[in-house]
Amino acid sequence: MSEEFPQTLLDTLRRAQRITVLTGAGISAESGLPTFRDKLTGLWAHYRPEDLSTPDAFRRDPRLVWEWFATHRAAMTAAAPNPAHHALVRMEAVVPQFTLLTQNIDGLHQRADNRRVVELHGNIARTKCFVEDLPVDTWDETGDVPPRCPRCGGLLRPDVVWFGELLPEQALATASAAAKQCDVFFSIGTSGIVEPAASLAYRALSRGATVVLINLDVVNDASRQLYKINAPAGQVLPALVEAAWPTAAAL
């Protein structure tokens, strides 16, 4: 397997003390979860995610938005981590300082058993109050859709970051520091369109880190500091981890 990867990349990975990984919807595609680039299907075929994932959409039609997220929550709960998620668990076990930043809201990194996961866009399994912006764990099932906050009676919403909303401050600060301080920065399955996460790879690159992009919409390329790998994450990540750290395969 190792001959598939440039020796310079394998050497850099073995030497790395600090690795930061940023993941997007593409890493969960092989778990059967559609990315934002995939068209919505079935009942939702006439909608675009950009039109349903906003505070304005929720104000306009809270029931529609709640039900759309409920459909996603059910799919994400039913999905299982794939070989790409498992490879990152092995990487975390062998790299001295490892930070996993994710834009995903599906919780699959935690379910695979990565320890240090920074969620930039929240988690669909959690719920919060639209009015108070505070977490809500339990509520009365009165038949209201969306249900109501047991504290203030406001509408409940998923605890995810919608278009036009700010990212959680602490997560963003951690992400920014981890991008600045790493030796290697991986960007996996993210289109790089959504800011500010999109600029993290460039921040790492400008600080001298080696950047590895794994995505289906890049052209294969290897230069001294930037490696682009066009392959499904579920295939390439296990192979790369095994090639760089053969002992990690046993973990």
- Residue 184 Cβ vs ligand NAD, minimum distance, rounded to whole Å: 18
23-62: b (≥16 Cβ within 10 Å) or e: bbbbbbbbbebebbeeebeeebeeeebeebbbeebbeeeb
Q: 156-160 and 122-129: which strand pairing? A: antiparallel
Q: Output 144 or 165, the one with its CB closest to ligand NAD.
A: 165
Rule CB under 6 A: which residues touch ligand NAD?
24-26, 28-30, 33, 35-37, 103-106, 121, 189-191, 193-194, 214-217, 232-233
The Cα–Cα gap between 186 and 173 comes to 18
Q: Output 104 or 127, the one with its CB closest to ligand NAD.
A: 104
Q: What share of the chain is helix, strand, coil (3-state, %, to 5)?
A: 40, 20, 40
Q: Output 37 or 151, the one with its CB closest to ligand NAD.
A: 37
| Active-site position among 85, 86, 109, 121 | 121
Outline where 79-138 has alpha helix (H): 83-94, 108-112
The two structure tokens encoding residue 215:
């995505």
Which H or E run includes 227?
Answer: strand 226-229
CA triple 188-220-29, angle to 5 deg: 35
72 is catalytic: no
- Residue 170 Cβ vs ligand NAD, minimum distance, rounded to whole Å: 17
The two structure tokens encoding residue 100:
């996993």
Q: Output 30 or 183, the one with its CB closest to ligand NAD.
A: 30
Q: Output 27 or 155, the one with its CB closest to ligand NAD.
A: 27
Q: Which residue sits closest to ligand NAD, CB atoms considered?
A: 26
The Cα–Cα gap between 23 and 111 comes to 15
* Amino acid present at 183: D
The Cα–Cα gap between 178 and 200 comes to 9
Catalytic residue numbers? 121
